[in-house]
Amino acid sequence: MFDPSPVTLQAVMDRFDAPLSTQEWVIGDAAQRERCHAVLLLAGRGRAQLRQGGLDFAAPALVWLPVGETQSFAMTAGAGGYVFSVSEDLVARYAGSGAGGLPLRFVADTVHAVTPEEDGPDLAGITQSFAAIHAELRRNTVGAGLVIGAYLQIILTGILRLADGMMERRDDQSPGSVTFQRFLQVLELHFREHWNVVDYARILGISERRLSSAAMRATGKPPLLLIHDRVIREACLRLEQSPLAVAQIAYGLGFRDPAYFSRFFKRYMGEAPGAYRRLKRAELRIRDDTFAAWP
């Protein structure tokens, strides 16, 4: 009896080719739910039932779903393509931060449904990668894990390119662009860490130019100014509402040097943090006195 190598426990691929009836894959047991899933649809239509809602797609389509997102897949009669399930361990190994400098880990953690151009180079390369993984899993010989990991990187890179192109087209059509909304979400999580623009672009999987263009279209401001605006907004709120000393507020906002925080704040607000706080408290006292004097 053939003794399978560990890679067959980490990855599974099914090929479907024009079935006469609808085909369905149910993600039932715990081991399956702990895998990422990818569908390459070359003909027909399909639907993925997700943890929240469903996702419909038509060929040509490439769908990627991270761990815990998928409940089932269904492909219509006559559909053709591949369903690929891969363990989180294998994804982490080949989509980590060292994967050619590309944000493949971010791609792998995000739901994607992209549409390669029919007969285009992206679709050809992705199809070849799926076919090669399918062949490696069937052969299951020495080094299969390395080969599958390399093709997994190609698939994730293809998703990154196609998703970037789709967002760019959407951004061109909408002032409140997808890219800009994603930037605001990431900014809310990381503004205290004093990331620069290149850090935000890298985690979003786009170029600095793309990020700058999206921010300028949406607000008329470059992304660096929006980053600083968010820090200043939080600083003003804490100075007005918190009893903490200015130095403690500076540390809480990620500044290592309270003196630098004071200079940064004054450059944007025209006065030092302490003076701003005193002014706001004086305004509050005046309002309180006015309200108290009402009949």
pLDDT digits (tens, 9 = 90+) for 184-235: 989 998 999 999 999 998 888 888 888 988 888 888 889 999 999 999 999 9
86-98 in b/e burial notation, b at 16+ Cβ within 10 A?
bbbebbeebbeee
What pLDDT is recorded for position 30? 75
CA-based nearest residue to 91, from 71, 106, 81, 73: 106
**195, amino acid identity:** W
Q: What is the mean pLDDT of residues 23-46?
A: 88
pLDDT at 2 over 50: no
Highest mean pLDDT among 105-109, 111-115, 145-149, 176-180: 145-149
Q: Give residue for tokens 């990855």.
A: 11
d(CA 184, CA 173): 19
Helices (H) and strands (E) in the chain, counts: 13, 9
Question: Within the chain, where are the H helices?
Answer: 7-10, 30-33, 88-94, 104-108, 121-139, 144-173, 178-190, 197-204, 208-219, 223-241, 246-252, 258-269, 273-292
d(CA 213, CA 221): 10
Q: Which residues contact 168 (CB under 8 A, 6 or more apart)?
A: 179, 210
d(CA 198, CA 269): 26
What pLDDT is recorded for position 155? 94
d(CA 106, CA 80): 28
In eight-state DSSP terms, residue 96 is S
Q: What is the mean pLDDT of residues 112-121?
A: 86
Distances (CA, A) of 267 to 146, 169, 278: 53, 37, 18
pTM beyond 0.75, yes or no: no
User: 6-10, 159-163, 218-222, 278-282: lowest mean pLDDT where?
Assistant: 6-10
Q: What is the distance between the terminal CA atoms of the chain, rounded to a whole angstrom?
A: 94
Q: What is the mean pLDDT of residues 150-159?
A: 92
Residue percentage of the chain with pLDDT more than 70: 87
pLDDT at 293 over 90: no
pLDDT at 270 over 60: yes
Q: Give residue for tokens 């943890």.
A: 51
What pLDDT is recorded for position 294? 45
Helix, strand, or coil here: 62? strand
d(CA 263, CA 232): 12
pLDDT at 139 over 50: yes
Classify burial at 53, counting beta carbons within 10 Å of its beta carbon; exposed 0-12, middle 13-18, buried 19 or more: exposed
**63, amino acid identity:** V
pLDDT at 1 over 70: no
Helix, strand, or coil here: 245? coil
173 pLDDT band (50/70/90 cuts)? very low
Sorted by where each starts, the structural domains of the chain and their CATH numbers stand as 7-173 (2.60.120.280), 178-289 (1.10.10.60)
What pLDDT is recorded for position 259? 95
Evaluated on CA atoms 109, 153, 157, 117, the torsion sign reads negative
d(CA 153, CA 90): 11
Mean pLDDT of the chain: 85
Q: What is the mean pLDDT of residues 155-163?
A: 87
Q: What is the mean pLDDT of residues 97-114?
A: 73
